[in-house]
Amino acid sequence: MKRPFVEQPAIVALLIAAQSACAAFFLWDVTADGLVHSATGQLDLHFGIEAAATAALIGGILFEIRILTRLLRRKAHLEQQASLAARAFHDLVEARFDEWRLTRAEKDVAHFTIKGLSIGEIAGLRGSAGGTVKSQLNAIYRKAEVGNRGEFLSLLIEDLVERRPGPIA
């Protein structure tokens, strides 16, 4: 899936660089015009408009840099939080699997089930028969005291919802 234009910081940074090059040119031009006009003592409306536009462009660039920096920091923070949440979910799932005394094979099948894979897909990934996977799923459901995939997933989600957040290390 293609990311929206604004979610690509390299492109935004490139645009800021292009604007900065333009601002440098306009600043040089306004400075040169200002020196000529100050020597003659004549500052006209055109020069004032050019100077204001150049100042506004520079101000806009500084604002964009500030916003981009904030967005990149926020993105990094959210990625870190998502990683912590994924790790916490994995730890919770593993604790439940240990509590249910799942075998290594059952744990693999359970992980694939959580990811939403079908019995055929799980069998293909594990190099086993579909009947073997069905048998392992039935053992998982029995140990977890649930009747089907939906109840199994609901049980794990309930664990997440009921779990009190602790301090983040």
What is the model's pLDDT at position 42?
73
User: Which amino acid, one-letter code, is at 167?
Assistant: P
What is the model's pLDDT at position 169?
45
Residue identified by tokens 């919802």 is 161
What is the model's pLDDT at position 158?
86
Two tokens at 42? 């004549």
| pLDDT tens-place values along the chain, 169 residues long | 566 555 678 888 899 999 999 999 999 999 998 888 777 777 788 888 999 999 999 999 999 999 989 988 998 999 999 999 888 889 989 999 999 999 999 999 999 999 999 999 999 999 999 999 999 999 999 999 999 999 999 998 887 777 655 554 4
Of the candidates 99, 111, 20, which has an alpha carbon nearest to the alpha carbon of residue 61? 20
Of the candidates 14, 113, 53, 3, which has an alpha carbon nearest to the alpha carbon of residue 105? 113
| Rg of the chain, C-alpha, whole Å | 30
Q: Up-side HSE of residue 71: CA atoms within 13 Å toward CB?
A: 13
Boundaries of every domain in the chain: 1-82, 101-169
**How far apart are alpha carbons 6 and 68 in whole angstroms?**
10
**How far apart are alpha carbons 166 and 123 in whole angstroms?**
37
Q: Domain 101-169, what fold?
A: Arc Repressor Mutant, subunit A (1.10.10)
What is the model's pLDDT at position 2?
61
What is the model's pLDDT at position 54?
95
What is the model's pLDDT at position 39?
74
What is the model's pLDDT at position 41?
72
